[in-house]
Structure 1
């Protein structure tokens, strides 16, 4: 019996040790519900991130349009002419072609197998400016991304030296953000001696993004209009057209906006009060 007990003891010890080891819990694994919860949490976090991104985009748009309202309101006042010009040139607002841009190589170069856009040229002068002002070409046909060079001719028909200033716009107005002018004579001092005649170059292109915009599909013809005014300087030294603001607004494609009319009324009231 003693011998049997001695033989059984090691076996029982080994069995006990094996049983004890089997009681050790394996590494905890997430339950299916926990896995679903984690997955749901990831989706919710991604959704919230997308919402935050959209809200950020809306906030930027709101800031842009708020700035537009402020600048447009100021735009009717000649004291804010530089600010208004910069805004219009940078955004293409009010039919103003974009000039505040430096085209990079990837933006230039004609896009083949695309329809050509016919750009027509128009020229006008104010009643008090004794200049003749005409485009040297009636139109040019260009592809998106293709640069074009055009010329206007101005001649001082008066008997004294005169400083002129030109405003400009394109129609239809919605193409303005894509109509980029690399070099032009707009909003710059143009002094002509009595009887002097000069050629004024215009270097421009239609941005390639024009092709991707579905609202541009109906545009085959564009009219680029320049109007020359006799210039004067304000009390702050800004060079502005010497003409009624309604006339300047119409020549700049700005008169169609209600904000401009309201700002014009406010300007007239302010001038009357100051007088």
Structure 2
């Protein structure tokens, strides 16, 4: 009498393969969540993409070279604030620390909350524009008619003098835009969703 056929044995490494696949998927998911903050840290450290560098102290030396810094202030539709710099342009020596104040006023009849993003133009100058203090990335809630004066403290990195290709760079523009915000995120006009760019990155 023939013996019944035995059930096929499960490969010994099947469990190991499943574990590896699960680990790969979890790793890729983790990297996708980490990509945005890591990219933001990279931009702030290098000035890539028009993002100024963040400093904690003065430059330590001042050069004879003089440059201009222009100040641009914008308000996204729907916020109802007035936003302007005390000066549209200043001249300073490379390495010299300067403070410029922006005035923000709520022109609506209700309390509103906003948050500012910023950019530097041209991009090649961003790596040498160093902010020591800034009001950006911080939510501000203003009552009807209330005004706020907020400083930005900065200098132009003396290392710019080592870049011969930037000898012709005479001016840098610091541009801010205020958005309506909620829970630290800028909101799209007329809605409750964070503003995102084409890559899905929250626009801060």
Q: TM-score, normalised by structure 1?
A: 0.56
Per residue, is there more helix in 1 or in 2? 1
Q: How many residues align?
A: 170
1:154 pairs, out of 104, 107, 128, with 104
Partner of 2:88: 138
Secondary structure at 1:174 match in 2: helix
Equivalent residue, structure 2, for 1:51: none
Give the whole-Å Cα distance in 1 for the aligned partners of 2:166 and 2:157: 12
Higher relative contact order (CA 8 A, sep 6+): 2
Q: Which residue of 1 aligns with 2:160?
A: 210
For the pair shown, the structure with the greater C-alpha radius of gyration is 1
Answering whether residue 130 of structure 2 is matched by residue 175 of structure 1, we say no
Q: Are the equivalent residues in 2 in contact too, given 1:147–1:205 (CA < 8 A)?
A: yes
Residues 18-65 of structure 1: CA deviation (Å, up to 9, x unaligned): xxxxxxxxxxxxxxxxxxxxxxxxxxxxxxxxxxxxxxxxxxxxxxxx
In the aligned structure 1, how far is the partner of 2:131 from the partner of 2:123?
15
In structure 1, which of residues 96, 111, 116 is the aligned counterpart of residue 66 of structure 2?
Answer: 116
Per-residue CA deviation, residues 90-131 of structure 1 (Å, 9 max, x unaligned), is 2212101112x323x6x33321xx331100111000001010
Report the equivalent of 1:88. 43
C-alpha offsets along residues 223-251 of structure 1, whole Å, 9 cap, x if unaligned?
A: 11000000123xxxxx2211279x765xx
Runs of 4+ deviating beyond 4 Å: 79-84
Distance 2:119 2:196 in 1: 11
Shift of 1:83: 4.5
Tell me, which stretches of 5 or more residues in structure 2 are unaligned? 1-30
Alpha-carbon distance in 2 for matches of 1:177, 1:248 = 24
TM-score normalised to structure 2 length: 0.74
User: What is the aligned-residue RMSD (CA, Å)?
Assistant: 2.9
How far apart in 1 are the matches of 2:149 and 2:61?
26
User: Whose strand fraction is larger, Structure 1's or Structure 2's?
Assistant: 2
